[in-house]
Amino acid sequence: MFFVVAVAILVTLAFALVRAFAGPTIHDRILALNVVGTKTVLMIAVVGFIVGRPEFVDIAIVYALLNYIGIIAVLRVFEGHGLSAPPAEAEAGKKERGR
């Protein structure tokens, strides 16, 4: 039962990786990072039940907090210091799609 859940989480993790590789914009990749973080939280919780240590759920909650704060920080960096100037972003996305 938990094993099936773990396999499902691993498959979605792989899909998130595909999105991280394919891009094409940086926002897709931030989203992929966020999804991988969420999958990490779920994975740790499920692994806790598989190995018979349900207290891993507490650690998963800490991960959820870390993930949230990390993504907010990354997005703030993009919002703040001209990192996501629209023309440059569009250009970068186009260049990548062309490759």
Please report, as ranges, the residues that interact with another protein according to CB under 8 A: 3, 6, 10, 13-14, 16-17, 20-21, 23, 26, 29-30, 32-33, 36-37, 40, 43-44, 47, 50-52, 56, 59, 62-63, 66-67, 69-70, 73-74, 77-78, 81-83, 88, 92, 96
**Backbone region of residue 25 per phi and psi (left: phi > 0; alpha: psi in -120 to 50; beta: other values):** beta
Least distance from C-beta 47 to another protein, angstroms?
6
DSSP letter, residue 25: S
21 versus 54: smaller Cβ distance to another protein: 21
- Contact call for residues 51 and 3 (beta carbons, < 8 A): no
What letter would DSSP give residue 53?
-
